[in-house]
Amino acid sequence: MDPRLRGDDEERANIPFRLPGNPQPAPASLCRPTLPPPAIAIKSSTWHGGCKDHPAIIRDQAVMAENDLFGIHGAALAVRSQRMATLASNIANASTPGYKAKDVDFAAALKGAETGRVDAVAANTKYRLPTQMSMDGNTVELATEQTAFAENAVAYQTTLSFLNGRIATITRALKGE
Of the CA atoms within 13 Å of residue 16, those in its CB half-sphere come to 9
For the cut 80, the answer to whether the pLDDT of residue 92 exceeds it is yes
Q: Alpha-carbon dihedral of residues 104, 107, 108, 111, nearest 10 degrees?
A: 130
Query: What pLDDT is stored for residue 49 in this prediction?
Result: 46
Q: What is the pLDDT of residues 72-86, one digit of tens each?
A: 888 999 999 999 999
Residue range 124-150: mean pLDDT, rounded: 92
Report the C-alpha gap between 73 and 70 in whole angstroms.
6
Q: Which residues are bridge partners to 103 per DSSP?
A: 126
Q: What is the pLDDT of residues 95-132, one digit of tens each?
A: 999 999 999 999 999 999 888 888 899 999 999 988 88
Q: Answer with the residue of higher pLDDT: 25 or 136.
A: 136
For the cut 60, the answer to whether the pLDDT of residue 1 exceeds it is no
Report the C-alpha gap between 31 and 18 in whole angstroms.
9
Residue range 148-158: mean pLDDT, rounded: 96
Q: What is the pLDDT of residues 10-69, one digit of tens each?
A: 444 444 444 445 555 544 444 444 444 433 333 333 444 445 555 555 555 544 445 567
Query: What pLDDT is stored for residue 29 in this prediction?
Result: 44
**Single pTM value for the model:** 0.60
Query: What pLDDT is stored for residue 37 in this prediction?
Result: 41
For the cut 90, the answer to whether the pLDDT of residue 8 exceeds it is no
**What residues have CB less than 8 Å from 176, skipping those under 6 apart?**
none
